[in-house]
């Protein structure tokens, strides 16, 4: 048994002692902003915390889009992004900046999310100052040190540093238990990605799509281990597909990483039915997902969102740390092999029964209430440790 999930009581959320704890929430990249926005908003709503949002700004434009959308108020912005930065640049910039910030703010708890270098350095800086750490989206594993790189190691190290582990699924909890993490420190909460998705779908309401003569593949790809050859094979597969299907268009909001852009614009820049566009705002991207025929991606977050929208997702990786959708038959890891990508996309486009099976709507990654559970659990831990 993992730690019991507290029952949220929105009418009676304020701590009976009236004490507000300082909660530092660390965000570096686009997906961290999307997935931590629900936690920031819920912690503020509960009235139990002084919430301090700290940006490393490992990303800049792609992060700012999300900070603005969710209306996050920023306590500190370390502004560390450099063009084509190395992992060491991000690590040293974030670690030093976060350490100084935590020393100044002295939060009661630090919250980090996922598996980026910001996540790992946030946990490490807090650990050095003996500030407890809560890890949102804990326990995802491929058990392959190089896939995804460096995220698999970032998440293992973060698990060693964290005090509270918010596992999105029972399977991620099992992974943590196998590594010796105490059951009483693990909470199965669902993924806050689904909170953000449901919140956004609610805001968007019913949107009529323009009727289209085309079928649309929505593509995103950015992973470091796919840079170079992997990206080239993905691009070549896209060209094969638009050649094979006259009614197919591919929409690709291209990540701002210069290594990704160099390959993508060189290979795909000239086809009338391959639309290379700038990274979309989250609402626009959710709309694009909901209107796509199918999704091709190496993104973690998109893998989580697609099943909740009933969209088949082909994962451009050999292994995934999110096996739940694959096991349910609505996602498939196809790697970056050109022929395999073409074969699996073609099967979805040609075989209506196969398409229908992979389009079942389900929510393997959460029910949209993860943030409430996370905020309750942190508050409960702080109350028990301070006796308030
Ligand atoms: C990072 C994370 C990855 C996550 C991804 C989400 C690490 C090691 N990697 O990868 O886990 O999946 O973010 O997108 O933490 N850039 C801009 N503007 C932006 C964002 C990026 O110009 O708003 C460019 C910069 O040149 C930057 C480069 O992209 O140097 C790479 O950014 P970086 O955060 O180092 O790696 P990502 O590949 O984005
Ligand atoms: N996303 C977005 N605009 C885009 C592409 C993606 O808002 O143009 C969202 C997507 O819905 C998901 C998150 O960004 O929530 C995924 O981010 P990314 O792929 O950069 O990182 P990963 O999830 O792989 O760490």
Beta carbons within 10 angstroms of residue 265's beta carbon: 13
Q: What is the pLDDT of residue 1?
A: 37
Query: Given a cut of 60, is residue 8 above it in pLDDT?
Result: no
Q: What residue ranges in the chain does DSSP mark as E strands?
A: 21-27, 49-55, 74-77, 109-113, 133-136, 164-167, 186-188, 215-220, 248-253, 274-277, 294-297, 313-315, 331-333
Ligand nearest to the CA of 254: 2
Q: What is the pLDDT of residue 210?
A: 78
pLDDT classification of 212: cutoffs 50, 70, 90: confident
Residue 323 CB partners (closer than 8 Å, separation 6+): 171
Q: What is the pLDDT of residues 141-181, one digit of tens each?
A: 999 999 999 999 999 999 999 999 999 999 999 999 999 99
Distance CA 355, CA 191 (A): 26
Q: How far is CA 135 from the centre of its chain?
A: 13
222-226: average pLDDT = 97
Catalytic one of 21, 255, 373, 381: 255
Query: Given a cut of 50, is residue 291 above it in pLDDT?
Result: yes
Which residues are registered as beta bridge partners of 271?
Answer: none
284-297: average pLDDT = 98
Distance CA 21, CA 111 (A): 13
Contact 139, 175 (CB under 8 A): yes
Q: What is the pLDDT of residue 4?
A: 41
Q: Does the annotation count 151 as an active-site position?
A: yes
- Report how far ligand 1's centroid is from the alpha carbon of 375 (Å): 28
Helix or strand holding residue 126 (H, E): helix 117-128
Look at residues 68, 77, 101 and name the one whose alpha carbon lies nearest to residue 28: 77
Residue 234 CB partners (closer than 8 Å, separation 6+): 219, 221, 226, 296, 316, 336, 338, 341
Q: What is the pLDDT of residue 7?
A: 43
Q: What is the pLDDT of residues 65-123, one digit of tens each?
A: 999 999 999 999 999 999 999 999 999 999 999 999 999 999 999 999 999 999 999 99
Q: What is the pLDDT of residue 18?
A: 67
Distance CA 8, CA 182 (A): 23
Contact 235, 268 (CB under 8 A): yes
- Report how far ligand 1's centroid is from the alpha carbon of 59 (Å): 6
Residue 300: CB within 6 Å of ligand 2? Answer: yes
Q: Does the annotation count 99 as an active-site position?
A: no
Task: Compare 182 and 19 and report the one with higher pLDDT.
Answer: 182
Query: Given a cut of 90, is residue 127 above it in pLDDT?
Result: yes
Distance CA 347, CA 247 (A): 15
Full-model pTM: 0.96
Q: What is the pLDDT of residues 320-341, one digit of tens each?
A: 999 999 999 999 999 999 999 9
Q: Does the annotation count 155 as an active-site position?
A: no
35-52: average pLDDT = 98
- Copy the structure tokens of residue 226: 């796919």
Q: What is the pLDDT of residues 352-364, one digit of tens each?
A: 999 999 999 999 9
- Report how far ligand 1's centroid is from the alpha carbon of 222 (Å): 8
Distance CA 290, CA 102 (A): 40
Burial class (CB in 10 A: 0-12, 13-18, 19+), 131: buried
Residues with CB under 6 A from ligand 1: 29-31, 58-63, 81-85, 87, 90, 115-117, 150-151, 222, 224, 256-258
Task: Compare 4 and 131 and report the one with higher pLDDT.
Answer: 131
Query: Given a cut of 80, is residue 208 above it in pLDDT?
Result: no
pLDDT classification of 213: cutoffs 50, 70, 90: confident
Q: Does the annotation count 224 as an active-site position?
A: yes
Q: What average pLDDT does the structure give for the chain?
A: 95
């Amino acid at each position: 048994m993992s730690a019991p999930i507290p029952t949220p009581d929105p009418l009676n959320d304020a701590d009976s002692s009236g004490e507000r704890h300082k909660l530092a929430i660390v965000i570096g990249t686009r997906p961290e902003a999307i997935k931590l926005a629900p936690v920031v908003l819920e912690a503020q709503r509960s009235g139990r915390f002084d919430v301090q949002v700290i940006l490393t700004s490992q990303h800049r434009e792609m992060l700012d889009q999300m900070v603005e959308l969710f209306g996050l108020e920023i306590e500190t912005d370390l502004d560390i992004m450099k063009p084509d930065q190395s992992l060491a640049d991000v690590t040293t910039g974030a670690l030093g900046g976060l350490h100084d910030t935590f020393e100044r703010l002295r939060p009661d708890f630090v919250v980090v999310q996922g598996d980026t270098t910001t996540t790992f350095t946030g946990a490490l800086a807090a650990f050095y100052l003996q500030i407890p750490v809560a890890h949102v989206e804990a326990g995802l594993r491929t058990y392959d040190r190089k896939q995804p790189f460096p995220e698999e190691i970032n998440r293992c190290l973060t698990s060693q540093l964290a005090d509270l582990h918010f596992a999105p699924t029972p399977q991620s909890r099992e992974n943590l238990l196998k590594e010796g993490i105490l059951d009483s420190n693990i909470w199965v909460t669902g993924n806050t990605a689904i909170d953000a998705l449901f919140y956004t779908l609610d805001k968007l309401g019913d949107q009529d799509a323009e009727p289209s003569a085309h079928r649309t593949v929505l593509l995103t790809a950015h992973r470091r281990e796919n840079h170079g050859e992997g990206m080239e094979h993905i691009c070549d597969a896209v060209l094969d597909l638009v050649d094979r299907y006259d009614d197919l268009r591919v929409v690709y909001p291209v990540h701002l990483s210069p290594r990704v852009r160099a390959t993508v614009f060189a290979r795909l820049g000239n086809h009338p039915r391959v639309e290379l566009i700038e990274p979309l705002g989250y609402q626009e991207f959710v709309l694009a997902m909901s209107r796509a025929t199918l999704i091709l991606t190496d993104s973690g977050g998109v893998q989580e969102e697609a099943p909740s929208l009933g969209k088949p997702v082909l994962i451009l990786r050999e292994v995934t740390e999110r096996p739940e959708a694959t096991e349910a038959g609505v996602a498939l890891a196809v790697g970056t092999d050109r022929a395999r990508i073409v074969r699996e996309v073609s099967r979805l486009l040609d075989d209506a029964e196969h398409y229908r099976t992979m389009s079942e709507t389900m929510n393997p990654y959460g029910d949209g209430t993860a943030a409430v559970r996370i905020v309750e659990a942190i508050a409960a831990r702080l109350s028990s440790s301070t006796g308030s």
